[in-house]
Structures are given as structure tokens and as C-alpha cells.
Amino acid sequence: MTLNQDFHVLIIDDGSPDGTASIVRSLFNTYPGKLFLEERQGKLGLGTAYIHGFRWAIEKEYRFVFEMDADFSHDPKDLQRLYIACKNTAGVAIGSRYVKGGNFENWPADRILLSKGGSLYTRLITWMPVKDPTAGFVCYSREVLEAINLSAIEFSGYAFQIEMKYAAWKLGFKIVEVPITFRDRKLGDSKMNKGIVKEGIIGVLRLRWHSLFKNYRNKVQNTDYFNSSSASFSSKAVALERE
């Protein structure tokens, strides 16, 4: 909470058994008007949590919206760099492990192989010019989130990260990658499993198929946004964290 910009934090909690919601509520008085909590019942998936947060941020009229992990794998100090990149040059700014200057620390070799392989596979199939398409540290401008029909985003697991970037790219928004160092979590367990890997493999093929034969751009564009001749934006920013 000591960053230069007036960042606000929204935590999406799906009934976490570790008492996340209670801890967040205990901090409301410490960070009045800057810390927010949205609680949902049951495990509804990574993608639906982010979309819930995106819609919350749009309703509250934030101008820039970030998604990031809440386990310090993503350094909060990098929020400022993503904000500047998104504000100055792009609709989407990605905290990237795989551009020059990007790196990772304390990550197991099998996860590195899976991540790099997944990124290469995604680029080869989709032709999307993003070196870290599975990255979960991202800044979206309000324009991008309003332009995307969030109800049409198909995937709720980690393929969600790929599809959001793909949708923004297909709608013509500029994407930039900002080098970051990804640090493996010190506490807790990874949620990666065979089902997530399968969704990613099949999901990328589905994205390409829809793009070639079913006009994916029309599917994911918010027609109300594109039909609107004007839009009003506030100058706030919010960081979305998911436990």
C-alpha cells in the first residue's frame, strides 16, 4: 500500500478455508476506502473470479484494472511499471517472464518446462504476438474490458489468461510486455493439475478454430461498446488479487 499511485485492492474469495475473508475484513479500518472484498460461495474457477472483479471495477468506474496473484509471486512494486506501460502505449500491459529482462526464481524445472512449452504452443497455434500468453500479472485499460463481451469468454481455468489476451488482440488493442521476475510461492500449493493442462491444450485449438471459421472477433466484441460514440472514464486504478 506504499506505491506511488492510489492503488486500490479487491480480493475475490471463494470460501477459502484458510480464513482469507476474515483477515481481509480485519484490515478494512487500516486501509479505509482502499481495500475491498467480494465473497462467493464455492470454487467457481479462476476465470469467473477475475470476470467478477472486472465487472466490479467497471461498475466502480476504475480506469485501469490489474490482475495478479496474492501470494507475492508477482511483486506489487511492478504495478507501477505496468500502469505506466498501459497508460502510455497500450490497452493491455503484461508482466512477462519471457521478454528480455524477464526471469523467474525458485521455480521447479518441470513448471518452467510446462510454462515455456505452453507459451510456445500458444504462439504457434494462435499467431498471437505475445511471448508470455499464460501470464497472470496483467493491466487492462477500462476500454479493453468494456470492449470485450466478458460473458463470451469461454474458459474458466488457466486458459482464461490466454483467451483474455487473445480477445483483446483480435479486437485490435495494442499489447505490450513488461519484464518481471516471477518468484515461486513460499507458502501454499500450486493449483496446476492435468485438467488445467488439458484445458489449455484444447482451449488454444478452439480459439484458433473459432478465429478461422466462426468469426471469433464478432463473438467476443461488446456491441454496445462499439456502437457507442463516446465513453467517460475515471482516473482510478484497482489491483485485483485472487487468493
Q: What is the pLDDT of residues 100-158, one digit of tens each?
A: 999 999 888 988 998 999 999 999 999 999 999 999 999 999 999 999 999 999 998 77
Q: Is 144 exposed, middle or buried (0-12, 13-18, 19+ CB in 10 A)?
A: buried
> Domain locations in the chain?
44-233
The per-residue pLDDT for range 161-210, each reduced to its tens digit, is: 999 999 999 999 999 999 999 998 766 556 666 777 788 888 899 999 98
Architecture in CATH for domain 44-233 = Alpha-Beta Complex (3.90)
pTM over 0.85: yes
- Which is nearest to 230 in space by CA: 146, 122, 128, 111? 146
